[in-house]
Structures are given as structure tokens and as C-alpha cells.
Structure 1
Amino acid sequence: MSERLQPGDPAPAFTLPDADGKQVSLANHAGRKVIVYFYPAALTPGCTKQACDFTDNLRLLAGAGYDVIGVSPDKPEKLAKFREQEQLGVTLVGDPEKKVLEAYGAFGEKKLYGKVVTGVIRSTVVVDEEGRVERALYNVKATGHVAKLLRDLKIDGA
């Protein structure tokens, strides 16, 4: 199972395809803070709620210097359908091989309805301007997570 990241760790580099099949790299965001959030599956209720919450707060986050990238094991075609169906503004990238999910500690054993299963651990990693982990939050809730994140990052205006 993958190791969890800690504040101060270098954020693992990645390049993954977005909903349009274009390559998105963490390195493209150098000099800005990046919220990388990991979710189990596009077009599911909890993941939709979380993606909509990030979309609703994108202007606020961007104004505070944050870019947002959502990562799931989905293929670009499913991400495109998710983006269009829910009118999402966040950048969504797919990691079908789960290499980035594992590198960020967002894939492994978790409890689901009382059973231990292996899968995506809903997580959020805040990366600073130098590419280091500022915060690493694991087992976050889909609902209310973005509001809590805004409070924790002291971003006003929500």
C-alpha cells in the first residue's frame, strides 16, 4: 500500500491526460499553489458533489492563488462526460494505472460499508509554489470538504 505524504515532502511529479486527452503536469503550475484532490469515480453522487463544490469556489480559490486538479482512475472520455453533464470548471485528469494515486498515498485499503476494500482514498493534497506538500488530508468527506478547506486555508468570501 502507498505511503501517505507529510507536510514538507516533495509533491510527486505527474503528467496525466485531462478530459480532452491533453497532458496536464504538476510542473505546469510551478509558482502557484495547487490543490490536488483524489476521488474514486466520476458520475457518482459523492464525487459529483465534491467536484461541484470545487467548481463553485474556483474563482475564490484562484483569487487566493490556488489552481485545482481532480484526479481519479477514470479515462478521459468518462471525465469529459462528467465535466459536460455537471458543467464542471475544475481540471479533471485520469490515472487509470493508479500510479499517481499510489504516489500520493490516495490508493490503498479503506473501509467501505464496514468492509475493508482496496480502492481510492478520498484525499486532498495542497502543494505550495515550490512543489512541496503544504497539507495532506486523507479520508476526507465528499460533502462539506471544500468549505472546510476554505476555512483551513483562511480564504474568505464563501
Structure 2
Amino acid sequence: MSTPPVKLAVGDAAPAFDLETAGGGRISLDELRGAPALIWFYPAANTSLCTRQACDLRDNHRMFLDAGYRVIGISPDPVPELDRFVAEQDLPYTLASDPTHAVMTAYGAWGEKNMYGKLVEGTIRSTFAVDGSGVLTFVKYRVGTPKHIALLQEKLGL
């Protein structure tokens, strides 16, 4: 397996990125400057837990918008799969493709994890809040899908 992942902390600078998005665009950290953003990493579009998490964020999207947050989901999926996910789940926020895992690695969201008792390398479900200056204000690795929204409400004061 690879070396242990980076572990970012509140107060760290968010690693820069520039990725393709569903719908044919691009998203970068520089583009997010000036307002807060919520960046969440998930293993795969159209799988049960990822779909639940995506739909929870969709159903609470107005709460994030009202607080000024832009929501960005990042997975290793190719753009056509992200396009399908957006269409099938009616997702109102940006999904970005990181097929090389470079951005996930920079955020510590790619590495060794235990899946059903077996160690594998993959996406570590993680969520980060970034302020308008590009500084991390919230970091959570190994996010529990059922409690994701409640955790964000508590920690981000939403």
C-alpha cells in the first residue's frame, strides 16, 4: 500500500486544485476564494452510501447557500458518470472528477482503509470547510453518512 495519507487540520491552507466537473466545466480552489466552500470527498457515484450522502446534501442545499457556502463533491468517477449521478439524483451543486486521486491525496482523502475486514486503498469519505481566504475551518475524516448533515450543522453553526 502507499504511504499514510496527509492529515490536514483546521487552520491549514486548503490544497489547490483544478478539476473537470459534471456538465463540462472546471472548478478550482482559486475560483472559490471570497466565500466559504464545503468540499466533500466520496468513493463512487450511484452507490448506496454515496447516493444517500449526496441526497442529504441536496435536501439541505438551501441551508448551505443561505450561509454563503458553495458545495463541491469530489470523487474518482469520470465526468460521464458524474453527469449521470447529477441527472438521476437532481443534484444542485458541483461534482468534480479526480481520476488520478491527486487532489484526494493532497487532502488526505485517499489511502488505506478497511472495507469489510480487508485493507484496500481508496477514497476516505471526508469533508472540509474552507473560508474565503482558502483556510480550512472544518476537517472531518471518515465521515459517518447518517450523521453528516447534523455534524455540519453543529460544527459550522448552520
Q: Calculate the TM-score normalised by the size of structure 2.
A: 0.95
Q: 2:145 aligns with which of 138, 142, 152?
A: 142
AA matched with 1:71 = I
Extract unaligned runs of 5+ from structure 2.
none
Counterpart CA distance in 2 for 1:84 and 1:38 is 19
Unmatched 5+ residue regions in structure 1?
none
CA distance in 2, matches of 1:151, 1:135: 11
What amino acid is aligned across from residue 68 of structure 1 in structure 2?
A: V
Q: What's the offset of the Cα at 1:147?
A: 2.2
Structure showing the higher helix proportion among its residues: 2
- What residue is the counterpart of 2:79 in the other structure? 76
Is residue 51–residue 90 contact of structure 1 (8 Å, CA) maintained in 2? no
Structure 1 Cα separation of the partners of residues 90 and 26 of structure 2:
21
Distance 1:7 1:148 in 2: 16
Within the alignment, does 1:61 sit opposite 2:81 as a pair? no
Which residue of structure 2 aligns with residue 41 of structure 1? Answer: 44
CA contact (8 A) 2:36 2:70 kept: yes
Extract structure 1 runs of 4+ deviating beyond 2 A: none
> CA–CA distance in 2 between the matches of 1:56 and 1:4?
29
| SS of corresponding position for 1:136 | strand
Count, aligned residues: 155
CA deviation map 1:20-64 (0-9, x unaligned): 121111211111111100000000010001011111111111111
CA RMSD of aligned residues (A): 0.9
**Could you tell me which residue of structure 2 aligns to residue 107 of structure 1?**
110
Query: Are the counterparts in 1 of residues 138 and 155 from structure 2 also a CA contact under 8 Å?
Result: no
